[in-house]
Chain A
Amino acid sequence: MSEPEGVKLEARGISKSFPGVRALHEVDLVLQRGRLTALLGENGAGKSTLMNIIAGVFPADAGQIFVDGQPVRFTGPRDARARGIAMIFQELNLVPHLSVAENIFLGREPLDWLGMIDYAAMNRQAAALLARLEIDVAPTTIVDTLRVGQQQVVEIARALACEARVLIMDEPTSALTEHEIDVLFRIIDGLKRDGVAIAYITHKLQELERIGDDAVVMRDGRTVSAAPLKELKHQDIVRMMVGRDPSDLYQNSAPAAGDEVLRVERLSLKHPRRSGDFLLRDVSFGVGRGEVVGIFGLMGAGRTELLETIFGLHSHNSAGSIYIDGAPVTIKSPSDAIAAGLALAPEDRKKEGLVLEMSVAENTSLASLAEDERFGLLNAPAENQRVGRAIERCGVKTPSPRQRVRNLSGGNQQKVILAKWLATRPKVLLLDEPTRGIDINAKREIYILIDELKRKGLAVVVVSSELPEIISIADRILVLCQGRLTAEFGRALATEESIMHAALPRQKVPA
Chain B
Amino acid sequence: MTARVPRVSAATIARFQSLGALMLMVVAMSILSDKFFTPDNGWNILRQISVNLCLSIGMTLVVLTAGIDLSVGAILALAGAVAAGLLKNGLPIGQFDILLEFTAFGAVLAGVSVGALLGMFNGIAITRFQLPPFVATLGMFSIARGLTMLWTGGFPVTGLGTSFGSIGTGTVLGVPMPVWISAALVAIFVIVTRKTRFGRYVYAVGGNERAALLSGIRVDNIKLKVYTLAGALAGVAGLIITARLDSAQPNAGLGYELDSIAAVVIGGTSLSGGRGSVLGTVLGCLIIGVLNNGLFLLNVSPFWQQVVKGFVIIAAVAVDRMSARRT
Contacts and interface: CB of A to CB of B under 8 A. Distances in A.
Contacts of A369: 197, 200-201
Contact of A399 (B3, B197, B212): B3
Interface in B1-36: 1-5, 7, 9
A352 B214 contact: yes
Given A353-B214, A400-B4, A376 B204 contact: no
Contacts of A404: 7, 9
The residue in A338, A377, A388 that gathers the most chain B C-beta atoms within 10 A of its C-beta is A377
Interface string B205-221: 00110111111111000
A317 to B, nearest CB: 16
Given A378-B200, A399-B5, A334 B207 contact: no
Contact of A400 (B3, B210, B211, B212): B3
A346 interface: yes
B207 A401 contact: no
Nearest to A346: B214
A334 B219 CA distance: 11
Given A370-B197, A377-B191, A378-B197, A357 B214 contact: no
B130 interface: no
Interface string A339-370: 10000101000011111111000100011011
A357 B196 contact: no
A253 interface: no
B196 A377 contact: yes
B128 interface: no
A427 B139 CA distance: 46
Nearest to A367: B215
B212 A355 contact: yes
A355 B274 contact: yes
B244 interface: no
A420 interface: yes
Contacts of B201: 369
Contacts of A17: none
A403 B7 contact: yes
A357 B200 contact: no
B212 A335 contact: no
A333 to B, nearest CB: 7
B196 A334 contact: no
Nearest to B204: A355
Contacts of A358: 203-204, 207, 274
A248 to B, nearest CB: 31
Nearest to A311: B214
A239 interface: no
A373 interface: yes
Given A355-B274, A377-B195, A400 B1 contact: yes
A366 B215 contact: yes
B275 interface: yes
A354 B208 CA distance: 7
A341 to B, nearest CB: 12
A383 to B, nearest CB: 10
Given A352-B210, A353-B211, A373 B203 contact: no
Contacts of A388: 1-2
Interface in B28-84: none
A344 B192 CA distance: 29
A344 B7 CA distance: 30
Nearest to B11: A357
Contact of B208 (A356, A373, A376, A377): A356
Contacts of B274: 355, 357-358
Interface in A288-347: 311, 313, 333-335, 337-339, 344, 346
B207 A356 contact: yes
Given A354-B208, A373-B197, A400 B214 contact: no
A149 to B, nearest CB: 28
Interface in B181-199: 191, 195-197
Interface in A43-80: none
Contact of A355 (B3, B207, B218): B207
Interface string B268-305: 00000011000000000000000000000000000000
Interface in B117-145: none
The residue in B196, B208, B210, B213 that gathers the most chain A C-beta atoms within 10 A of its C-beta is B208
Contacts of B214: 311, 313, 334, 344, 346, 352-353
Contacts of B1: 388, 391-392, 398, 400-401
A420 B3 CA distance: 22
Nearest to B203: A358
A361 B144 CA distance: 42
Contacts of B7: 400, 402-404
A357 B204 CA distance: 9
A175 B4 CA distance: 54
Contact of A366 (B3, B9, B195, B217): B217
The residue in B9, B213, B214 that gathers the most chain A C-beta atoms within 10 A of its C-beta is B214
A384 to B, nearest CB: 9
Contact of B215 (A399, A401, A420): A420
A367 B214 CA distance: 9
A247 B2 CA distance: 39
B64 to A, nearest CB: 11
Contacts of A398: 1
Contacts of B215: 334, 338, 366-367, 420
A309 to B, nearest CB: 13
Contacts of B217: 335, 366
B163 to A, nearest CB: 32
Nearest to B274: A357
Nearest to A349: B211
A4 B201 CA distance: 65
A369 B7 CA distance: 23
The residue in B2, B204, B216 that gathers the most chain A C-beta atoms within 10 A of its C-beta is B216
Given A338-B216, A378-B197, A400 B2 contact: yes
Contacts of B5: 399-400, 402-403
B230 to A, nearest CB: 21
Nearest to B218: A335
A376 B196 contact: yes
B205 to A, nearest CB: 9
Contacts of B216: 334-335, 337-339, 367, 424
Given A334-B215, A370-B197, 16 more contacts: A333-B218, A334-B216, A335-B218, A352-B208, A354-B208, A354-B211, A357-B208, A362-B200, A369-B200, A369-B201, A388-B1, A398-B1, A399-B3, A400-B2, A404-B7, A424-B216
16 contacts: A334-B215, A335-B218, A352-B211, A353-B211, A354-B208, A354-B211, A355-B212, A358-B203, A358-B274, A376-B196, A377-B191, A378-B196, A378-B197, A388-B2, A400-B4, A402-B7
Interface of A: 311, 313, 333-335, 337-339, 344, 346, 351-358, 362, 366-367, 369-370, 373, 376-378, 388, 391-392, 398-404, 420, 424
